[in-house]
Amino acid sequence: MQYRQLGQTNEKISAIGLGCMGMSHAYGDRDEAQSLNTLQCALDLGINFWDTADFYGDGENEKLIAKVLKPNRDKIFIATKFGFKYQNNNGDFGSKFDGSPAWMRQAIELSLKRLQVECIDLYYMHRVDQNVPIEESVGAMADLVKEGKVRYLGLSEASSESLKRANKVHPIAALQSEYSLLTRGIEPEILPTVRELGMTLVPYSPLGRGMFSENFDISQFEADDLRFRLPRFQGEHLINNQKLMQALTEFAHGKSLTTAQLALAWLLHQGQDIVPIPGTKKIKYLQQNAQAVDAKLTLAEIAEIDAIIRTYPNTGERYTADALKLVNH
């Protein structure tokens, strides 16, 4: 495994992290034994950057991770998030969001207890609360650093302006936003701000929520899978994206890569300040993802990949309209 620096800190995190959400939330049934084996394999591979949130499975994901985190605390850089309040069982982001200091105070104690740790390495606000000044939210988060409950602060899906305002209150080590070959909306303004302020960008859903896979087949999804409700997995967008995946898969195979490895390699080649967190429940895909750090892409190949993307532009929105309202622009 290769390692990259977190923001302007001295922390070294694995160039490819592990998104743990799918083990407990949104993508079908849970398999605790399989997930625990995958977490242990991540340790063995040197993947030390693990990502979760209190919202995932209504706290169950943090509890799951704790079973491997607690006995291996010094080997894992753990990131979690607060803000969403679980109000239903459908796994959607339609639940209430609360970025207030009052809720954060409750959320941090619950996360510490579930994770069975005394301090969280990286603590994100899961979205920017439109009803609470970001200075107020980040100021309260900064108090957690002073108290030793949190080491570094992060934001998720924050705008360029919000990042600048937040960073004046306390250094923001990382921004987590959706970024992939399918989702590039952060490139014009947000990514330059991340770099101007010396942060790390942590792309979530770097594999297009499973779309960048050799055997992508929506008919194999379980009935309660979140993706059935997302525009990219419906109608004309789905047809477009299936054609796109076929073209990218052919290109990847020409370089002896899987489609997922190509997508991760593309992200890693965008800069040393980028650390994607692909999620998986299975050791096979974890091992394949980890190998992407060794993939090499030339500028000509990156240009060819971009040309393939432009050939199939009708990819669809990444979220439902209601979920997009929570994204800070």
Catalytic residue numbers read 56
- For residue 277, how many C-alpha atoms fall within 13 Å in the half-sphere facing its CB? 25
Nearest to 56 by CA among 313, 285, 321, 277: 277
**Residue 89 three-state SS:** coil
Find the distance separating the first CA and the last CA of the chain, reported in whole Å.
Answer: 34
* Helices (H), ranges, 101-173: 101-115, 134-146, 160-169
State the greatest distance between any 2 C-alpha atoms of the chain, in Å, as a whole number.
53
Task: Judge contact between 224 and 90, C-beta under 8 A.
Answer: yes
**Residue 189 three-state SS:** coil
> Distance between CA atoms of 55 and 237, rounded to whole angstroms?
28
